[in-house]
Structure 1
Amino acid sequence: MIATVSAMGMTAFLGGCGSTGSSDVTLRLVAADYGDSAANSSQKYWDSLVKEYETTHPGVKVQVSVYSWNDVDRKVKEMVDAGHAPDMAQIGAYADYAAAGKLYAASDLLSIRTQADFLSQLADAGQWSHTQYGIPFAASTRVLFYNKTLFTSAGITPPTSWDELAADARALKAKGVKYPFALPLGPEEAQAETMQWLLSGGDGGTGGTGFTDEIGTYTIDSEQNVRTFSWLKDDLVAKGLTGPVAPGKLNRAQAFAAFADGQVGMVDGHPTLIQQAEAKGVRFGMVPTPSRTGRARASMGVSDWMMAFKQNGHADQIGDFLNFVYSEKNVLDFSRDYGLLPVTTSASNAMSASDAAPDKALHPFLDQLATSELYPVGKTSWASVSAAVKQNIGQAVAPGGDPAGVLTRLQATATAADSAAGTG
């Protein structure tokens, strides 16, 4: 979600060292790439981590395959469908595999100390049928990034409401800004941009419903959500305020890169954009994402998930490796490398207490995490619903598009997926 991604889609295989004869075990992990170039691919993180682990565990080898977020969920599904599940996968959703009985419960793998260290709202979100199968790996929240230089030139201030956002976008367009407001509804992470807008679409100070209501029933085509996407289509996209690339074809990585190049006035972003913008010398600010009325409402949180498949056995070795992965040091190293939020209490407390870079810049995101609303990842239907949103939501704001029709079709997809999964 959460998350910036690499277009490299590369695969790395990391060998182990040492041997203990018949006790040798090779673990296979498929992981997502959080980098935005070959230079900072997640391969480097896993390469270093695995090397350190294998040095003290000569009987265990870990092979890591790293794919872009455009490909990683599909790759894992193909492996599982072919009967060759990896030992571990670090991807975007877990519940469908849990419901199929393919995953180890977290309690089968992790020490009590490791389990107790996860932030409670993330551990709860990792439950299917009251048992935790999804192990949170990385988290983020969203804020509105704005280019201070472009705002000063246009004589405007950061928006707090949708009306102010549209007015700022018009002023930026008048100054020749290429993307007054970047709206990435492309297939890379459209479900995140969509949920952020749905949550901010409430009236009278109430938050939007997101994808589901309070009891977990899909409400994608609610009247409120239709109004939200009608506003996006009519007040932003149709007026040329979202840039030259159609939102349905604009991926988040492209939008972030354009912001880092000084071509974007505003974009909803997660913490990794800080590093990209700073690396290019962009002067930027961050404010809470505007809502319909400008009043307080829930913000969106995203967690990506680690899971372990039972097919190959190896529960003891998987658990030992994951206990190592989730040490305070390793969680902090990953979070700092990629500008993401720690998923454990110990690492979160350490980051909150630090005023050093990059920790201090992450404090606004960290403060929102405890009260944020996550995707309905505990629903076995969520993976297919998320995929449908990624592929189709851009049509809702396209020229001639019908927001109500698109959302109604997505609702039908969600309802059918829920029915097929046997979950509410």
Structure 2
Amino acid sequence: MVSALGMTATLGGCGGSGSSDVTLRLVAADYGDSRDDSSKKYWDGLVEEYEAKHPGVKVEVSVYSWNDVDSKVKAMVDAGDAPDLAQIGAYADYAAAGKLYPASELLSIRTQADLLSQLSDAGQWKHVQYGIPFAASTRVLFYNKTLFAKAGITPPTTWDDLAADAKALKDKGVKFPYALPLGPEEAQAETMQWMLSGASTGTGYTDDVGTYTIDSTQNVDTFTWLKDDLVGKGLTGPVAPGKLNRADAFAAFADGQVGMLNGHPTLIQQAAKKGVKFGMVPMPGREGTARASMGVADWMMAFKQGGHADQVGDFLDFVYSQKNVLDFSREYGLLPVTGSASNTMTASDAKADETLHPFLEQLPTSELYPVGKTSWASVSAAVKKDIGQAVAPGGSPSGVLTRLQATATAADSSAAN
């Protein structure tokens, strides 16, 4: 998701335990890229409207950059001063520690029913929902229309098409025919998208019941194909995939140096600002369009420490109203997490909404990281560190994936004990 410098607000103490004079504290991530569009601006407006209708409740919001927000919340929790609400990247550790309210104790039945089911399911720890999806995105294949026209090619629908297109782009001197960012910034995303595109079953890193299957035959075959048919043939550009970060790949696309890459909604504005003419299609699969796209969600959670379940629940019902979900999604180019808002955006012919339609189309069949596993953070870190070696000259896809599987199995076992 978008990361930017955040702004901090002074946190106030909790109020009384009755229905009046209650202060709720919310720590939130910043989706803006400047002071002018900081998420603080969004929350300030929303809180002002809420407080006007609920004079006995105050909501104090502290907004931090994505670089800092998770650690800020962890520091507060470790100090015994958990916020009432946190809107951050992961919830499972706090759920496993018994620190969170289940969503069912907070949200109205109407709000719960409106949340998109695949996102709600991903918010479960041990079959109970603690993570409430707040924002979502999916991945599609971006391609440079100008470069494709010069090469006389059309967008790919299979891996063979993608390799052929990449060769045609290389022959025309394109610097990065297909940009493959397996560098440490966000390698876990590119990895999962390719796992999904090569899979007939499973959810990328895990099988359908949540067991890690990183070294499955289909995943080994996928990375063998990447190593031999893309990287080994010089179709991924001059930077080794293990050294190429997602932000650098996006910047190169916006500079007109990339023929194709996997991208999320923020690339739309980045490329448009530079005047790049681009198209978007579903990620190709081995024999046709990939069975599933990768989805990403950020999470809202409520800590039990403050004890204001009724007020927290009422505020969250307001946050997740159709209008507020749409306002946030449109402000930051993200996908709505509720059915009502998603349907409204899908039916809209407003230009800003239409640019998100390809991503919305992917959402119902998208697969998310295994965020309900407390082991995922350490597994993700290992993937970021090592996956680039799988496609490096002399690298062994089977060997790298086997080592990552061992790391995941050990982390899973440790988390269960």
Give the Cα separation in 2 of the matches to 1:401 and 1:28.
Answer: 49
Question: For residue 31 of structure 1, what is the aligned residue in structure 2?
Answer: 28
Q: How many residues align?
A: 413
Relative distance call for 1:183 and 1:364 in structure 2 (3 A) is same
Once the two structures are TM-superposed, the CA of residue 78 in structure 1 deviates from its matched residue by: 4.1
Give deviations 1:300-330, integer Å, cap 9, x for gaps. 2222211112223332332232222111111
Contact 2:143 2:279 in 1 (8 A): yes
Relative distance call for 1:81 and 1:407 in structure 2 (3 A) is farther
Contact 1:181 1:267 in 2 (8 A): yes
Question: For residue 13 of structure 1, what is the aligned residue in structure 2?
Answer: 9
Give deviations 1:348-401, integer Å, cap 9, x for gaps. 121122111212222222222222222222223223322332333233334443
Once the two structures are TM-superposed, the CA of residue 75 in structure 1 deviates from its matched residue by: 4.1
Contact 2:28 2:61 in 1 (8 A): no
Pick the aligned partner of 1:62 from 57, 60, 63.
Answer: 60
Pick the aligned partner of 1:87 from 81, 84, 87.
Answer: 84
- In structure 1, the gaps of 5 or more residues are none
Say what the alpha-carbon RMSD is for the aligned residues: 2.7
Q: TM-score, normalised by structure 2?
A: 0.89
Relative distance call for 1:151 and 1:307 in structure 2 (3 A) is same
Pick the aligned partner of 1:199 from 193, 196, 201.
Answer: 196
Give the Cα separation in 1 of the matches to 2:252 and 2:69.
Answer: 24
Matched, 1:420 2:414: yes
Contact 1:395 1:401 in 2 (8 A): yes
Once the two structures are TM-superposed, the CA of residue 125 in structure 1 deviates from its matched residue by: 2.1
Pick the aligned partner of 1:211 from 198, 205, 208.
Answer: 205
Relative distance call for 1:392 and 1:91 in structure 2 (3 A) is farther
Matched, 1:109 2:103: no
Contact 2:39 2:63 in 1 (8 A): no
Query: Partner amino acid for 2:268?
Result: I
Question: For residue 259 of structure 1, what is the aligned residue in structure 2?
Answer: 253
Give deviations 1:171-227, integer Å, cap 9, x for gaps. 22333323221222233332221111001113xxx3565111122211001122122
Query: Partner amino acid for 1:263?
Result: Q
Question: For residue 222 of structure 1, what is the aligned residue in structure 2?
Answer: 216
Contact 2:283 2:290 in 1 (8 A): no
Give the Cα separation in 2 of the matches to 1:176 and 1:27.
Answer: 57
Relative distance call for 1:328 and 1:158 in structure 2 (3 A) is same
Once the two structures are TM-superposed, the CA of residue 55 in structure 1 deviates from its matched residue by: 4.4
Contact 1:301 1:373 in 2 (8 A): yes
Relative distance call for 1:250 and 1:66 in structure 2 (3 A) is farther
Task: Give the secondary-structure state (helix, strand or coil) at the position aligned to 1:370.
Answer: helix
Give deviations 1:136-191, integer Å, cap 9, x for gaps. 11122221110101111122211112222122222223333232212222333322
Question: For residue 315 of structure 2, what is the aligned residue in structure 1?
Answer: 321
- In structure 2, the gaps of 5 or more residues are none
Pick the aligned partner of 2:231 from 237, 242, 259.
Answer: 237
Task: Give the secondary-structure state (helix, strand or coil) at the position aligned to 1:153.
Answer: helix
Once the two structures are TM-superposed, the CA of residue 73 in structure 1 deviates from its matched residue by: 3.5
Question: For residue 48 of structure 1, what is the aligned residue in structure 2?
Answer: 45
Pick the aligned partner of 1:299 from 274, 280, 293.
Answer: 293
| Correspondence list, 1:375-414, <5 A | 375-414=369-408
Contact 1:201 1:207 in 2 (8 A): no
Give the Cα separation in 1 of the matches to 2:32 and 2:177.
Answer: 25
Stretch of structure 1 that moved more, 253-262 or 113-122: 253-262
Give the Cα separation in 2 of the matches to 1:273 and 1:397.
Answer: 25
Question: For residue 123 of structure 1, what is the aligned residue in structure 2?
Answer: 120
Once the two structures are TM-superposed, the CA of residue 295 in structure 1 deviates from its matched residue by: 5.0
Contact 2:17 2:308 in 1 (8 A): no
Contact 1:30 1:90 in 2 (8 A): yes
Query: Partner amino acid for 2:366?
Result: S
Question: For residue 177 of structure 2, what is the aligned residue in structure 1?
Answer: 180
Matched, 1:342 2:339: no
Contact 1:144 1:287 in 2 (8 A): yes
Matched, 1:144 2:141: yes
Q: TM-score, normalised by structure 1?
A: 0.88
